[in-house]
Structure formats: C-alpha cells, structure tokens
Amino acid sequence: MKKLILGTAQLFNKYGLHNKKTLSDVKSSKILEKSIKLGNFTWDCACSYNNHVKIGRFIKKNNLEKNIKIITKFDHNLYKIDEKNLSREIEKYTEQLNIKPSIILFHRPLKNLKKKEELILYLKKKYDIDLGFSIYQKNEIEK
C-alpha cells in the first residue's frame, strides 16, 4: 500500500465552505485511532483549522509524540514575517500540538522570496525541519 497522509481539516470542527455541522470529538478521535491502526502516522494540519489543541491532546494521551509526523501550514500573511514573530507562532503551535512539525508549508508564496531567503534558512536551521509552499494556483509562483 502506498503511504497516505490523513488530512485533519474537518476533525473536531466545522472547516470549509460546505460543512454544515461539526464532526464530534468522539468521531474525530475514532478517525485518528483508525489512522494509527492502519499504520498511517503522517497527518496534515494547519493553524487555520483550529483543531491542533485537540489533536495535540490526542497525541499526548496516546503517547504518539515519537510516532506521528506532522505536516502543517502557516499563512504568512497572518503574521508579521520576521524571525521573532514567526518563531513565536511556530513555538506556540508546537506546544499546543505536543509535537514539533516535520514539515512546514507556507500558504501563498512569499513575495520577494529572495529577500526572505535568510528567514527560510534561519527557520530551517533553528527547527531542523523541511520548509516549503502550499500552492493552489499557477499564478502564485513568482517568475
């Protein structure tokens, strides 16, 4: 079987335009449990999902800190994009999730990416993680 990544956007909350109701904590936890039983230890999360605290509790309760791989996303437009502010947000998120993300993707590429290269290198070195971008449209790629 190929490796699967569990998307967690709709767990524990009502996320998205078409969702009319919230998935209960019990049902959300059962999905996470099933993921573990199937050997899927890679989960896609994001600050904007507003469920990372509950996912963090699940990880801690089930002693999964060493097993789970988290891919997460940050919307750089929400934070003043500098080392101090972004580091603070990453640390807060990591503490609430009870695990350091393995990969951080930024929604929307940073404008003037060359000017932000130092920031990317700083974050990669400080957190020993992979960094990238979550691209939704072709025009988001700076030429």
CA distance 117 to 64: 33
Note the pLDDT of residue 1: 46
Residues 11, 55: contact at Cβ < 8 Å? yes
Note the pLDDT of residue 113: 61
Average pLDDT over residues 53-70: 93
**pLDDT-wise least confident of 17-26, 83-92, 133-142:** 133-142
pTM to 2 decimal places: 0.81
CA-CA-CA-CA torsion for 92, 132, 102, 50, nearest 10 degrees? 40
Tens of pLDDT, residue by residue over 105-138, are 887 665 656 656 777 788 888 888 888 877 777 7
Average pLDDT over residues 12-27: 81
Residues 129, 99: contact at Cβ < 8 Å? no
In this predicted structure, the answer to whether residue 40 has a pLDDT above a threshold of 90 is no
